[in-house]
Amino acid sequence: MSDTLAAGIRWRAEGVGFGRAVLATAVGSSPFEVGSLLLASDDGRLAGSVSAGCIEGALTDAILAARRGAYRELVHFEVSDERAADVGLSCGGTIDVLVEPEVPPELLAAASEGRTVALVTPLPAGRAEPSVNRLLVDATGARSGSLGDAIQDEMAIGLARTALRDEASLTAEVGGRQLFVEVLAPVCLVIAGAGDVAVYLVRLAHAVGFHTIVVDPRAAFLTRERFPDADALLEGWADELADQAGIDDGAHVLALAHDPKIDDPAIAIALRRGARYVGALGSRRSHTQRVARLREAGLGDRDLDRIHAPVGLAFGGNTAADIALGIVAEIVSERHRRRHPA
């Protein structure tokens, strides 16, 4: 889950109240994407950002004011506004930020469970009561809640499915109302092989909000001391634990053991289940040998061509940390390329 929502879950467990500001629309230049989130707690803590620092001070004040006044509002900034200049919005563009006195509990629950969901929220015109009807749609198509109108619900479900497919939050007008469709789509990263590269990879992946699962039959490598940030550690073989590990068409699977006995079954099951991303360590020569083994195991060229190997962006580093950084960078790059092909 994202560090921002993880902070909110910790604050809630401590009994500390907090509210949020979330970027609902952005036109022109904006450093962050729609759906970017800022949390502010009653005891002065902050988590997240919506503008790389340009307007966080003003939004923090707005969140705490909304908590005191028990209201929600849509706050508008544009580069020509005096208000925008006062708070430092010098990068240009026009943005609308939804400020709420609390984080929707549906969102926190989905984050704590690692679920992929789209939450549909009507945007207020100015200030409004804090309570509002919301609609939640998950990756399986199951839904809960309602906007209070059956026709709008059906149209909102269509928007939610589009947002889930694109893994991108959006705002659209439906039935005369502006609906904010907020996507929570944690990247499921399954790592076969608990070596040194995996140790650094889990740390970096955690920082960018990936849901990480490490699979390895070697118990000595698979310890909480080595992987304190991993969401799950599974002792065994990736192909035998594929269901438990969540290897499906939405997963990102990495084979990092440098051992064909561990790597090959992980790659094979990932390709057969249509994993979104499949990567493997190793030189080009070792990958040629790997492809020959996998072809003998029944995999065709179309599947084999999907393997990213040697995995990761090449920028000259060769330490375990460098390799892990290149892998995370490549996965993030691939995700954004899918979401924004242009």
Residue from 233, 236, 234, 273 nearest 252 by CA: 273
Average the pLDDT over 57-70 and give the result: 95
State the DSSP code for 6: H
Q: Are residues 11 and 96 in the same domain?
A: yes
Residue from 231, 223, 227 nearest 251 by CA: 231
Average the pLDDT over 293-308 and give the result: 95
Percent residues over pLDDT 90 in the chain:
72
Give the integer Cα–Cα distance in Å for 219 and 239: 17
pLDDT at 84: 47
DSSP string, 199-214: HHHHHHHHHTT-EEEE
Percent residues over pLDDT 70 in the chain:
92
Q: What is the residue-averaged pLDDT of the chain?
A: 90
Contact 224, 159 (CB under 8 A): no
| SS3 track for 267-320 | HHHHHHCCCCEEEECCCHHHHHHHHHHHHHCCCCHHHHCCEECCCCCCCCCCCH
Residue from 234, 227, 168 nearest 33 by CA: 168
Give the integer Cα–Cα distance in Å for 38 and 95: 14
Final residue in a domain of this structure, among 184, 215, 240: 184
In the predicted structure, residue 314 carries a pLDDT above the cut 90: no
CATH number, position 219 = 3.40.50.720
The identity of residue 280, as a single letter, is: A
pLDDT at 31: 59
Q: Are residues 253 and 319 in the same domain?
A: yes
Give the integer Cα–Cα distance in Å for 97 and 59: 9
Q: At what angle do helices 284-296 and 260-272 cross, to 10 degrees?
A: 60
pLDDT in tens, 73-117: 999 887 554 544 454 455 556 889 999 999 999 999 998 888 889
Task: Give residues with Cβ within 8 angstroms of 143, minimum separation 6.
Answer: 135, 136, 137, 157, 160
Domains held by the chain: number: 2
pLDDT at 88: 47
Q: Which residue is listed with tokens 């508008």?
A: 76
Final residue in a domain of this structure, among 164, 184, 204: 184
Q: Are residues 109 and 194 in the same domain?
A: no
The identity of residue 279, as a single letter, is: G
Residue from 169, 178, 184, 161 nearest 23 by CA: 169
197: alpha, beta or left? (left if phi > 0; alpha if psi -120 to 50): alpha
* The model's pTM: 0.79
Residue 332's H or E segment, with its range, is helix 320-339
Torsion of Cα atoms, 70 then 65 then 10 then 103, to 10° = 50
Instruction: Give the structural domain span for 123.
Output: 3-184
pLDDT at 28: 63
Q: Are residues 162 and 267 in the same domain?
A: no
Final residue in a domain of this structure, among 128, 152, 184: 184
Greatest mean pLDDT range, 29-33, 71-75, 332-336:
71-75
pLDDT at 20: 97
pLDDT in tens, 274-296: 999 999 998 899 999 999 999 99
Q: Are residues 212 and 302 in the same domain?
A: yes
Torsion of Cα atoms, 121 then 123 then 129 then 133, to 10° = -30
